[in-house]
Amino acid sequence: ALLHEENPFWTHLEVLESVTSTNTELVSRTRAGEARPGTVLVAEEQTAGRGRLGRAWSAPAKSGLFFSVLLRPHAPAERWGWIPLLAGVAAAGALARTAGVDTGLKWPNDILATGADEERKIGGILAERVDGEHVVLGIGLNVTLREEELPVPTAGSLALAGAQGTDRDPILRAVLRAFEDWYGRWTAADGDPASSDVLEAYAAGCVTLGRSVRAMLPGGEELLGEAVAVDGDGRLVIASEQGVQRPVAAGDIVHLRP
Ligand code: BTN
């Protein structure tokens, strides 16, 4: 039972053998009025998985957890940008507890396995607003992926990071529970990241902070500096060598030095 009867936050869970993308599927069901908030769509295989910034997310069938949930947030829409960030906090924490792997977050919401001398991306999050009311939140986690199956050399998996257990069901359950918990706190605080402790938890888990970074902004601009903070809007604040601080709302970050 993945849905806990005593607290029906998750209203419907469905496992699909193969789908283009759980996000795409849940977005179209939502548009068609065919999905309730609290729906969880899990796929054994995605044939056209999608990542942030228009990228593809591909992984062999059953090598990980690929799922999307439908939310109808009761917090002001200008704070919805926190949803993927708090999902990162929830997933990183749940993986650390259930699989015994050290995890961290690379801004905005890459989930990393953090070893003694390397960091590898083991998960990603893609949140999409469907209409004025709904958000589809997709999470992809590499669970049993082997070295020769890694899409890029900087990727990893729970198994490669030495996880204690790689059964996907308990991991999914733990991630959903942790998400429900953080999302509940955030909602109760009307989406305020500070009073719900989401901001503090995010900053504590974000390994980008304090690092030298190169940011590729959506317009093509490149920014070099030190990542000094995450602000109340979830933006990464980058300080240049001259001390000029700039908040970055979206983009691709490269960690330059440990
Ligand atoms: C990223 O790191 O760029 C985000 C990756 C998000 C992947 C997940 S897998 C389940 C859901 N369906 C998709 O097509 N994408 C997300």
Model confidence pLDDT, tens digit, residues 148-183: 999 898 999 999 999 998 999 999 999 999 999 999
Q: Are residues 61 and 129 in the same domain?
A: yes
Asked, for residue 139, whether it belongs to a domain, the answer is: yes
Would you state the pLDDT for residue 21? Answer: 98
Q: Are residues 153 and 239 in the same domain?
A: no
Nearest-atom index, ligand 1, CA of 59: 9
Q: Are residues 136 and 227 in the same domain?
A: no
Would you state the pLDDT for residue 3? Answer: 59
Asked, for residue 4, whether it belongs to a domain, the answer is: no
Taking CA atoms only, the protein residue closest to ligand 1 atom 11 is 138
Decide whether any atom of ligand 1 lies within 6 Å of the 225 Cβ.
no
Decide whether any atom of ligand 1 lies within 6 Å of the 49 Cβ.
yes
| Interface confidence: ipTM more than 0.95 | yes
Give the residue ranges of the chain where pLDDT is below 70: 1-7, 258
Q: Are residues 220 and 185 in the same domain?
A: no
Site to probe by mutation for ligand 1, drawn from 21, 168, 253 as the one with most ligand atoms within 8 Å of Cβ, is: 21
Would you state the pLDDT for residue 118? Answer: 86
Q: Are residues 30 and 148 in the same domain?
A: yes
Would you state the pLDDT for residue 127? Answer: 98
Taking CA atoms only, the protein residue closest to ligand 1 atom 9 is 140
Domain-terminating residue out of 204, 219, 235: 204
Would you state the pLDDT for residue 213? Answer: 97
The angle subtended at Cα 30 by Cα 27 and Cα 35, nearest 5°, is 120
Range of the domain at 250: 209-255
Q: Are residues 109 and 219 in the same domain?
A: no
CATH code at 43? 3.30.930.10
Contacts of 9 (CB under 8 A, 6+ apart): 38, 180, 184
Would you state the pLDDT for residue 102? Answer: 97
Asked, for residue 5, whether it belongs to a domain, the answer is: no
Site to probe by mutation for ligand 1, drawn from 41, 42, 50, 106 as the one with most ligand atoms within 8 Å of Cβ, is: 50
Nearest CA among 224, 225, 220, 246 for reference residue 235: 246
- Number of independent structural domains in the chain: 2
Q: Are residues 140 and 240 in the same domain?
A: no
